[in-house]
Structure 1
Amino acid sequence: MKTSLLFFALLAASLTPAAAQTQPKTTAAQAAPAGYHDMLAATIQDIMSTGDAVQLKELASKMERAAAVAPQDWLPRYYQSYALLIATFQSKEDGDVKDKQLDQAETALQQARKLGGDKSELLVLQAYIYQARLSISPMMRSMQLSPKVNEALAAAKELNPGNPRIYLVQANNLYFTPKMFGGGAEAAKPVYDEAKARYAAFRPATPLAPSWGERQLMGRLKQYETAASTQASK
């Protein structure tokens, strides 16, 4: 509750005539009011700590308010998009509702792009959104969207081959692709291993920069270990 109240207070302060006259238009750090970065960090942590679709949508709305507080900062729009994306994966709603939510995620992502966000990270998130759309109707959408996932990831890798989220999303795409089309768990395993090595070497550019995915990766690798152990015991 205190978090929400502080966000509204920051938003109100940023919209006063005096603030509008004195607010710099150069960098996000200059434009953000006092307390903004601590609030943003806390909200990012909340997003990363929940798998509840309703809560994720509430946190996406909070990021939208943060974007109004610091309109030059790309990170609120990025995390708004990310929260909506993960909410879609966790949601039990029908496909039309999920598609509309992903439309909102793409809009936020486009806004982050206009604000000069990290291009590699934005491309990875775009690929992840394509995956979410594909998962709504795999049979109908795989031919159209699977290549788009790969294209976005290839562009992200060209910009920053050290970004571990590239390999995580790429491995996920392989994992859920039928074996007859070159995918499956066996095909994905080396890419998950590459992602693990990249995460070990990765250091985010700033404390608030994207760093998600390692927990998801370790969960997947644990599944491989469990499957191998089960197979060995037979």
Structure 2
Amino acid sequence: MTQIKQLIVIVAIVLTGSIQSQTDYEKAMEKAFSLWEVEGLTAAEQFFERIANAEPNEWLPNYYVAQINSLKSWEEKDANIIKAQLDKAQTFLDVAKSISKDNPEILVMQAHIYTNWVVFDGAFYGMKYGATISELYEKAYRLAPENPRVVFSKADWGYGSAQYFGQDTAPYCKEIEKSLELFANFKPETNFSPTWGKERAEQVLKECK
């Protein structure tokens, strides 16, 4: 057997072993992300729910159900639909919190859910959640100052607030630029850990300039 053939056989054995060694949880998470990419948010949401029910010690499936419902709510105008989506997001995020304490990714998602409410009705929910959102980002930053989603989300909230109140946005734009450097070097803890945010950071930075 030639060296090339030997190498091909070795690679095939390694890949086969890797596939066989995957847990049911890992296979299910891969399928959920595949559904997200191919069939969209609702199909992925339903599958993440199934994983969350089957894996009560895993925070990530609950996190992604919360994230999907948050994403759905950004463009929604119907108050009843928004309430149903954000209530569901909160329910699943509360489960994620109970599994993983003081998790900066969960803190950021909590801030996003509250921001959904503010976007829907700023006059009411801005007063209710504005200070809490800032506190969540401060806590997340203390826990993970090198996490790009933390740095960007905190700066993005500050940038939007500064625009609203007619204040200088330059310091927040600097932080958004810093977040892009962090995104470039970020390595998620697992194959399924959050990696989102870079594209949005690039978009906001363009607005800054």
User: Which residue pairs with 2:29 in the alignment?
Assistant: 40
| Superposition deviation, residue 137 in structure 1 | 0.7
Spell out, residue by residue over 1:92-136, the C-alpha distance to the aligned partner (whole angstroms, 9 max, x if none). Answer: x41332122111101100111112266111111111111111100
User: Which residue pairs with 2:66 in the alignment?
Assistant: 81
Amino acid at match of 2:195: S
1:81-100, aligned counterparts within 5 Å? 81-91=66-76, 93-100=77-84
User: Which residue pairs with 1:146 in the alignment?
Assistant: 130
Report if the CA contact (8 A) 2:59-2:95 is conserved: yes
Q: Identify which of 55, 59, 68 aligns with 2:53.
A: 68
Report if the CA contact (8 A) 2:145-2:151 is conserved: no
Question: TM-score, normalised on structure 1?
Answer: 0.71
- Taking the aligned partners of 1:46 and 1:118, their CA distance within structure 2 comes to 29
- Taking the aligned partners of 1:180 and 1:215, their CA distance within structure 2 comes to 23
Report if the CA contact (8 A) 1:81-1:108 is conserved: yes
| Superposition deviation, residue 37 in structure 1 | 0.8
- Taking the aligned partners of 1:214 and 1:163, their CA distance within structure 2 comes to 12
Question: TM-score, normalised on structure 2?
Answer: 0.78
User: Which residue pairs with 1:107 in the alignment?
Assistant: 91
Amino acid at match of 2:103: K
Amino acid at match of 2:138: A
| Superposition deviation, residue 185 in structure 1 | 5.2
The verdict on how the C-alpha distance between 1:141 and 1:109 changes in structure 2, with shifts beyond 3 A counting, is same
User: Which residue pairs with 1:181 in the alignment?
Assistant: 165
Amino acid at match of 2:173: K
- Taking the aligned partners of 2:187 and 2:114, their CA distance within structure 1 comes to 26
Amino acid at match of 2:88: Q
The verdict on how the C-alpha distance between 1:110 and 1:199 changes in structure 2, with shifts beyond 3 A counting, is same
Residue 162 of structure 1 pairs with residue 143 of structure 2: no
